[in-house]
């Protein structure tokens, strides 16, 4: 048992001596949000990137020809270093582009590789690269009109436990 003092110097009661109606409870905050796809230019990153509208980040994932994806001629990598927002914007303008690869920490200015025909299960994991996939819209239709499953993000925050994100597939019949 520990006794603690109040700011004014008076002694606090022992925790066991608190009134019975005093309880400490853990709580969970649940937020549900769909990954949407407005194709607008993103602001310049000022802090480590988070999932932007229309894009899903696969941290530590690298894909290339023969390892889960195909490159796109002229963008494997792009000729110039670009910011992540510009890399994504250029990918959105390329019909075949499904995602981009960048080295984590170089989102302000770095190399950008376009990817198509991505198979996440065949990509290399736990790397210094991040794969950013262009997400289907709320109806599960990608920008080429092809139906896909949508993956809403369910966030759970538990004090002292941090934040966890879970994607739950929802099948949309075409």
Domain residue spans of the chain = 27-39+50-167
Q: Which residues does residue 147 pair with via DSSP β-bridges, in sequence order?
A: 141
Q: What is the pLDDT along the chain (174 residues), one digit of tens a residue?
A: 444 454 455 554 554 454 545 444 444 434 444 444 444 444 444 444 445 568 999 999 999 999 999 999 999 999 999 999 999 999 999 999 999 999 999 999 999 999 999 999 999 999 999 999 998 655 445 555 555 444 444 444 444 555 444 444 444 444
Can you give the pLDDT at residue 61?
98
Can you give the pLDDT at residue 54?
85
For 136-152, letters b (16+ CB in 10 Å) and e give bbeebbeeeeeebebbe
Can you give the pLDDT at residue 135?
84
Which class does domain 27-39+50-167 fall in?
A: alpha beta
């Amino acid at each position: 048992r520990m006794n603690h003092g109040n700011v004014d110097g008076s002694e606090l009661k022992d925790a066991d001596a608190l009134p019975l109606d005093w309880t400490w409870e853990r709580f969970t905050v649940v937020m549900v949000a769909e990954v949407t796809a407005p194709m607008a230019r993103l602001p310049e990153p000022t802090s480590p990137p988070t999932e932007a509208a229309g894009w899903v980040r696969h941290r530590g994932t690298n894909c290339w020809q023969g390892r889960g994806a195909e490159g796109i001629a002229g963008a494997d990598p792009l000729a110039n270093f670009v910011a992540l927002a510009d890399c994504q914007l250029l990918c959105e303008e390329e019909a075949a582009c499904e995602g981009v690869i960048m080295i984590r920490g170089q989102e302000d200015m770095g190399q950008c590789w376009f990817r198509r025909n991505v198979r996440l299960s065949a990509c290399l994991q736990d790397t210094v690269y991040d794969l950013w996939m262009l997400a289907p819209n709320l109806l599960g239709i990608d920008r080429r009109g092809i139906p896909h499953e949508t993956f809403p993000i369910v966030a759970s925050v538990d004090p002292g436990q941090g934040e966890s994100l879970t994607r739950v597939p929802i099948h949309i019949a075409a």
